[in-house]
A and B are shown apart, each in its own frame.
Chain A
Amino acid sequence: MQAAENLAPDGRSVDLQKAFEDSGVRTGLDQLEHELVGLAPVKSRIREVAALLLVDKLRKDLGLVSETPTLHMSFTGNPGTGKTTVALRMADILNRLGYIRSNHLVTVTRDDLVGQYIGHTAPKTKEVLKKAMGGVLFIDEAYYLYRPENERDYGQEAVEILLQVMENRREDLVVIVAGYADRMARFFASNPGFRSRIAHHIEFPDYTPDELFEIGKLMLDQQSYRFSLAAERAFREYIAQRMRQPHFANARSIRNALDRARLRQAMRLFESRARQLSADDLMTIEAEEIRASRVFSGGIDANPIGEEAAS
């Protein structure tokens, strides 16, 4: 009897394509595809999750059994590989799919979860969890939660409450933890319960030089800037040099480099203020702005006291 009820009556069918179009998730996925360069494994996993949720929704419409899937995720990868950006997108996509009720992401670190004295941690963690309910809770650098070297650390308490809520209130909250791969591995090793409660472990690969260049162009485009031809060449060289130097943080390094290039461009325009400037002048970044970087003269180690704060 039970089994018979689970079967949809014959002849009823659903249109997956239509459901896909209606859900608006396509816009989210397309946006992800266009605005994020590279990250193939990440994108394919997100597409899988989206497909699962869509199919689940159709199953529910037909009256088939569908258990709420666990969507807690762990993002691991080097600095600047787009973990936070993707987490933001996840909130949007999950919201479109109707898995979470509101499109909001609460970003927290250890500070926001762990208290300073006995009895302070639990209310603090619960407060954050309540604020995140209905949306996505993003815990950046989650491994700081647990400090094995200090046995009186309150981090463990926060982890326990977190685990409890992740398990019991799956339909209210999606937790995404993020951090550098090696330290996350150590964190999971010391909290095995955490690892098993997270269904999706997504690895963010480093970018190739070509991808970094694309990212740079995209960033400039979003701010209504562009490279001159010579600057494009210079920027490719810059990327190749920068990647070999220490403290390279993928897309974040690119963003910082572009921010400094914009500073230099503004200075150049300011110094030539006698002449009339066109919109083109205001938009174009020249090769000299790129080549002025310390990266070309050996990086931060060769001349530690440069005119810029960072390489």
Chain B
Amino acid sequence: MRLTQGTFSFLPDLSEQQIARQIRYCLDQGWAINLEYTDDPHPRNTYWEMWGQPMFDLKDPAGVLYELGECRKVFGNCYIRVSAFDSAPGWESLRLSFIVNRPDEEPGFDLERHETSGRKVQYTLRPYATGKPMGARY
């Protein structure tokens, strides 16, 4: 099951060139770019691991693509996302975030129905991948 989240979740995966264009847009807006990776695809897993520090003061997407290449070398079989942070007063938050790398195989999620009192049903979403320990998931 293909995991989608973030700004371009409704689109097919972006090509390298499209990623560069999106990053250029972010840089033109003066946003700081951050790379994050994870092997826990649960939608509630908001805080991914940071790849290095956020990149401020870049003038060209090449710097981000360079780091993305480095990150792919190490975590090529994890999810990697680009996020752009706007530090302007009033915003001070993420403005854009999209997935740029995903594992070759995405096993998807297990939906667990838990019947409680009065035939009420509680649902639990559990990624199949997280059954294995961290680092051995994909």
Using a CB–CB cutoff of 8 Å, the interface residues on chain A facing chain B are: 101-102, 104, 123, 129-135, 169, 172-173
Contact = CB atoms under 8 A, between A and B. Distances in A.
A-B residue pairs, 7 tightest by C-beta: A134-B60, A130-B63, A133-B62, A172-B62, A133-B63, A133-B60, A104-B59
Contacts of B53: 123
A123 B52 contact: yes
A129 B59 CA distance: 11
Contacts of B96: none
A101 B60 contact: yes
Interface of B: 52-53, 55, 57-64, 66-67
B14 to A, nearest CB: 19
Contacts of B59: 102, 104, 131-135
A54 B59 CA distance: 24
Most B Cβ at <10 Å: residue of A133, A169, A172: A133
Contacts of A173: 62
Given A123-B53, A133-B62, 18 more contacts: A102-B60, A130-B55, A130-B62, A130-B66, A130-B67, A131-B57, A131-B58, A131-B59, A132-B59, A133-B60, A133-B66, A134-B60, A134-B61, A134-B63, A135-B60, A172-B60, A172-B66, A173-B62
B62 A169 contact: yes
A132 B60 CA distance: 8
A191 to B, nearest CB: 23
Contacts of A133: 58-60, 62-63, 66
Contact of A169 (B58, B64, B66): B66
Nearest to A106: B59
Contacts of B67: 130
Contacts of A123: 52-53
Contacts of A130: 55, 58, 62-64, 66-67
A108 to B, nearest CB: 13
Contacts of A129: 63, 66
B62 to A, nearest CB: 4
Most A Cβ at <10 Å: residue of B52, B57, B60, B61: B60
15 contacts: A102-B59, A104-B59, A123-B53, A129-B66, A130-B64, A130-B67, A131-B58, A131-B63, A132-B59, A133-B59, A133-B66, A134-B63, A135-B60, A169-B66, A172-B66
Contacts of B52: 123
Nearest to A135: B59
B35 to A, nearest CB: 12
Nearest to A101: B60
Contacts of B55: 130
Nearest to B55: A130
Nearest to B67: A130
A135 B60 CA distance: 8
A168 to B, nearest CB: 9
B58 to A, nearest CB: 6
